Chain A
């Protein structure tokens, strides 16, 4: 089945550590996105990529980094510079239109 797979579902990070969230899609979509969702709030865009080897900052990119070496993969690294990383992270992809399709999310908790 085609879809977007995020892993892990739950992730715990110690303060000062970098962690990488995985996002893989087999939909052959060109564009991929990372969103952050805090409790009771909407989705805020972290980074997006419309083509391999290219990506753009979203509204809240500080403390995060991404890479897009393959069309299928768009990993997100939450660095130690991100002061409040506890959140629900959502990866999405889209083809030529604006309709984005989401993975099941990764819940990151700082311990």
Chain B
């Protein structure tokens, strides 16, 4: 099936550092979603992107919808301990309504004390 590749797979950073991660696909997506999953919990929607080139912020998080529509980027500024978790990108397999999502493999963020 469809695959979304996320990189890096894991990141080890110090508190206060900025974080960048990305998600790429071999196919075009018309919506990009970014989720965060805490250990043992369900993913929580962070940001939704609907248009190529769109840049959207949610507090310290900023996500961009790539111009080619085959990629998306998530940045976190001035990381704090509660940013620890796994970040997933996701996109619908079609443009029609509430279609099923394909998820990326995730980027695991760890903050080194």
Contact = CB atoms under 8 A, between A and B. Distances in A.
Interface in A32-56: 33, 35, 41-45, 48, 50
A107 interface: yes
A59 B102 CA distance: 10
24 contacts: A30-B98, A31-B98, A42-B104, A42-B105, A43-B43, A44-B103, A45-B101, A50-B97, A50-B98, A59-B1, A90-B42, A90-B43, A97-B31, A97-B97, A97-B98, A98-B33, A98-B91, A98-B97, A98-B98, A98-B99, A99-B33, A102-B44, A105-B40, A105-B42
A45 B90 CA distance: 12
A106 B91 CA distance: 24
A101 to B, nearest CB: 7
A95 B98 contact: yes
A110 interface: no
A58 B105 contact: no
Given A42-B103, A98-B98, 5 more contacts: A31-B98, A41-B105, A42-B88, A42-B104, A104-B41
A11 B100 CA distance: 26
A97 B43 CA distance: 17
A contacts with B: majority SS: strand
B76 interface: no
Closest 3 CB pairs of A and B: A102-B42, A98-B92, A31-B98
Interface residues of A, number: 31
A103 interface: yes
A99 B40 contact: no
B66 interface: no
Interface in A1-39: 4, 6, 30-31, 33, 35
